Amino acid sequence: MDPPPQGPAGRGRRPGPAAHQHQLYWLTGTGSSSAYVGYAQESSWGEPARDSGVPTGVIAFAHDIGIRRYAEQENTVVRWTDADRGGHFAALEEPEALTADVREFFRPLR
């Protein structure tokens, strides 16, 4: 890899993480959609979280940590399952466990 450029333009520094993130949004054309999330939530910044009232089911897989206390601040958690295996890609790693838990969540809501 070539060393970073020297002189007034380069000053011997490489772009930092912010520049990389900006480039990611620019090249993929997703800057406006990512900014909308912040705009849509702007009115609630700094306010205490409110419960949505929507029944929510959570399955926390072993390698994908979910913190129940935070989940319950904005959601009506009616089912919380701690799984012994699996991770972030549950549908690929443990499809049977995920399917069974989703079915059990919806069973009483029919």
Question: What CA–CA distances, in Å, run from 63 to 69, 80, 87, 90, 103?
Answer: 18, 16, 4, 10, 22
Whole-angstrom distance, CA of residue 75 vs CA of residue 43 = 18
What is the pLDDT at residue 5? 58
What is the pLDDT at residue 95? 94
The mean pLDDT value for 19-45 works out to: 69
Residue 3 or residue 24, greater confidence: 24
Beta bridge partners of 82: 60
What is the pLDDT at residue 15? 65
pTM of the model: 0.56
The mean pLDDT value for 78-94 works out to: 92
Residue 92: is its pLDDT beyond 90? yes
